[in-house]
Structure 1
Amino acid sequence: MGVKATTMRDAPALGRVHYDRRMVQEVRRGRDLAALPKAHLHLHFTGSLSVPALKRLAEAREMELPAKLVDGVALDVPYDKRGWNRFQRLYDVARAAVRGEAALRAVVRNAAGEDAAEGSRRLELQVDPTSYASSVGGLQEALEIVCDEARLASAESGVQVGIVVAASRIRHPLDARTLARIAARHAGQGAGEVCAFGLNNNEREGRTHEWEGAFRIARRAGLPGVPHGGELRGADHLAEVVEHLRPTRVGHGVRVVEDPDLLRRMVDEGIAFEVCPASNVQLGVYREHHDVPLRDLLDAGAAVALGADDPLLFLSRLTDQYVTARETHELDDAALARLAKSSIDASFAPADDKRRWRAEVDDWLATPPK
């Protein structure tokens, strides 16, 4: 499944302004990172939107968006004023624009189109159907729409889109069990199928062990666990996530470096880390990009997949994360290729597809930079 250069049906314009201005540096310093084959494993539904795409959805509902959500300064604040609450308020406003079947389909198309422009071969898009169910008739209906559009968008964009159903820490754990049962009906590895079960939202909310039952239901259906942990809260909390939810991957997990024994255990168990540098900095977990412990994780032998998390608010897409790895963490092209392969290996795509994409990474590395 190669990436096609065709225009997707009714797809919003791709919002690539943020990293295009740095492509000159990329060409001068190494190979084109937007052409590097990779998998995108940490991307949230509404947060995947470009600003122009969000504006179109809001206009369709005659909804006025706050200026700071669309003028490029949403979270551009001093370090001591960054944090989860500011982020969540703006995310909730954006999510209010995503109502109805057409909007849900537009989000999926936009996400696939953005990732196609960045060399993604596999996108695992995370959604909590609860947030959109009321506008389309229910949880099952919301998930069916998302999965159906993921199949269509996969065929048109060349990006294989799998769906991660994620429960929320701010809802009752019993709601998560309902979601796990619904997700199980759509379980699979291919395009438009539910490939994993997650837990997101504010890490400070709830008691982790209360979601153990939902993850057990998901595992019985063959759905691996991909809960968030180790970003807003530290290594002690991440240890609870590992113990009770038995993840195959963790969303973020960067603060595992605070506990070398836990890091060693997670590496030994093959738990992959979905590292999102822009999120870590914009939420105030780390002051600057060079503080994000990417190299510490890599030096420890961790499997790492870079992710953009919520480009709408962080104004930083997937290619930006690789630019940061190159320019801030000084990874050369061989190391960046290993990162891309790590993301492919950590995905839940079919094995044959993974082998093909890994070979494409080798081809990228074998081609001299222009």
Structure 2
Amino acid sequence: MSARPAGEVRGSVRRDVALLPKAHLHLHFTGSMRHSTLVELAAEHGVHLPDALVEDWPPRLHATDERGWFRFQRLYDIARSVLQTPDDLRRLLRETAEDEAAEGSGWLEIQVDPSGYAARFGGLTPTVELMLDAVREASEATGVGIGVVIAANRTRHPLDAKTLARLALQYTDQGVVGFGLSNDERRGRAYDFEGAFRIARRGGLISAPHGGELLGPASVRECLETLHADRIGHGVRAVEDPALLEQIVQRGVTLEVCPASNVGLGVAETAADVPVRRLYEAGASIALGADDPLLFGSRLAVQYELARTEHGFSDAELADLARQSIRASMAPEDVRKRLLAGVDAWLAG
């Protein structure tokens, strides 16, 4: 296990985390939308938004029970419904890339289940091609590198996941870098989706399922052992099983930890209760993520600021977190080198 960087002298100047180069590896497509864009597109397309997405935004959520998750998913579906034209998708990706650049993110891996948009945009294949085209435009306009993680939905049939895995493999040379699994862990075991992930891995995609968010260590273990995860979305409940956590460390699996999301969904009561420090001290590779800024009200830089204020991370340790996110990414080697050099410059500045 590599040594952690030493902390700073108390009272030293704190560097701006928005200027710290980093990679963002846990961001969902609809959830990346600006709140102002949601409101504007809803008015343009005649979509009624509930108060939780307007006056009471960000919504008060608690998804650790079935009713709470249903409400979270309902709000998410309403938000998705405002994306009705190709220009809407292009706008979302352009603005997301602009926001990433402002947060210090030089590489983004955005996760999307194209099934949620296929009916509106002519089917799965046209939807994926539209999104990849929009990704290229957004990247060229902002300088932020973008990879796409095609994600299956735990609430749908595993055969649908296999279809998505085969589709994803057709675009590995056009920006698709990984295969994921999202939605409510309580409604679909990782075991059921092993076939889809086997297809994706054989084609060179990384395995990046969600696990250990709403369920405990057993969910993480399934992702690790059955889906052969390279990264695990959330994974915070692994701290409850020291042997499992050690296995994660030894395998070099990265945990995509999303502090504001964990609080927003009731996984943790406060940001201080999210086990960022415990995971870090155990030697786990961590990539901080914002998950769904549209519903949780904060983007990537805030997650680093929470690590600083709630868990006592020094600037040297924050730089270490940024390096871990970059190394766990699928960014091209030249992008990695540039971002890592930027992290060193940030820390030296």
Tell me whether the two structures share a fold, i.e. TM-score over 0.5: yes
Q: Return the alpha-carbon distance in structure 1 between the equivalents of residues 122 and 104 of structure 2.
A: 35
Does the alignment pair 1:95 with 2:77? no
1:89 is displaced (CA, Å) by 1.6
CA contact (8 A) 1:199 1:226 kept: yes
Which of residues 280, 286, 293 is equivalent to 1:311?
Answer: 293
Does the alignment pair 1:284 with 2:269? no
Q: Return the alpha-carbon distance in structure 2 between the equivalents of residues 169 and 304 of structure 1.
A: 24
Which residue in the other structure is 2:102 paired with? 117
One-letter amino acid of the counterpart of residue 286, structure 1: A
Deviates further, 135-144 or 101-110: 101-110
Which residue in the other structure is 2:8 paired with? none
Matched residue SS, 1:328:
helix
Which residue in the other structure is 1:59 paired with? 43
1:245 is displaced (CA, Å) by 0.6
Which of residues 148, 161, 179 is equivalent to 1:176?
Answer: 161
Query: Percentage identity across aligned positions?
Result: 53
Matched residue SS, 1:122:
strand
Which residue in the other structure is 1:73 paired with? 57
Which residue in the other structure is 2:3 paired with? none
Which residue in the other structure is 1:34 paired with? 18
Does the alignment pair 1:107 with 2:73? no
Alignment deviations for residues 135-159 of structure 1 (CA, whole Å, 9 cap, x no partner):
1101011110111111111111111
Which residue in the other structure is 1:86 paired with? 71
CA contact (8 A) 2:207 2:228 kept: yes
Which of residues 288, 309, 314 is equivalent to 1:332?
Answer: 314
Matched residue SS, 2:256:
strand
1:29 is displaced (CA, Å) by 5.2
Please report the TM-score for the alignment, with normalisation by the length of structure 1.
0.88
Matched residue SS, 2:119:
helix
1:86 is displaced (CA, Å) by 2.5
Q: Return the alpha-carbon distance in structure 2 between the equivalents of residues 72 and 153 of structure 1.
A: 30
Which residue in the other structure is 1:202 paired with? 184
Q: Return the alpha-carbon distance in structure 1 between the equivalents of residues 229 and 55 of structure 2.
A: 37
Gaps of 5+ in 2: 1-11
Which residue in the other structure is 1:228 paired with? 210
Please report the TM-score for the alignment, with normalisation by the length of structure 2.
0.93
CA 1:211–1:78: 2 relative to 1, 3 Å: closer
Q: Return the alpha-carbon distance in structure 1 between the equivalents of residues 93 and 63 of structure 2.
A: 32
Deviates further, 335-344 or 203-212: 203-212
Q: Return the alpha-carbon distance in structure 1 between the equivalents of residues 336 and 112 of structure 2.
A: 23
CA contact (8 A) 2:190 2:226 kept: yes
Q: Return the alpha-carbon distance in structure 2 between the equivalents of residues 88 and 220 of structure 1.
A: 32
> What RMSD in Å do the two structures reach over aligned CA positions?
1.8
CA contact (8 A) 2:179 2:209 kept: yes
Gaps of 5+ in 1: 1-27
Does the alignment pair 1:46 with 2:3? no
Matched residue SS, 2:195:
helix
The count of aligned residue pairs is 338
One-letter amino acid of the counterpart of residue 290, structure 1: A
Q: Return the alpha-carbon distance in structure 2 between the equivalents of residues 55 and 314 of structure 1.
A: 16
CA contact (8 A) 1:83 1:284 kept: no
1:220 is displaced (CA, Å) by 1.4
1:312 is displaced (CA, Å) by 0.4
Which residue in the other structure is 1:133 paired with? 118
One-letter amino acid of the counterpart of residue 168, structure 2: A
CA 1:365–1:300: 2 relative to 1, 3 Å: same
Q: Return the alpha-carbon distance in structure 1 between the equivalents of residues 35 and 309 of structure 2.
A: 26
Does the alignment pair 1:302 with 2:287? no
Which of residues 128, 148, 163 is equivalent to 1:143?
Answer: 128
Q: Return the alpha-carbon distance in structure 1 between the equivalents of residues 180 and 71 of structure 2.
A: 23
Matched residue SS, 1:225:
strand
Matched residue SS, 1:331:
coil
Alignment deviations for residues 172-195 of structure 1 (CA, whole Å, 9 cap, x no partner):
11000100111101114xxx5001
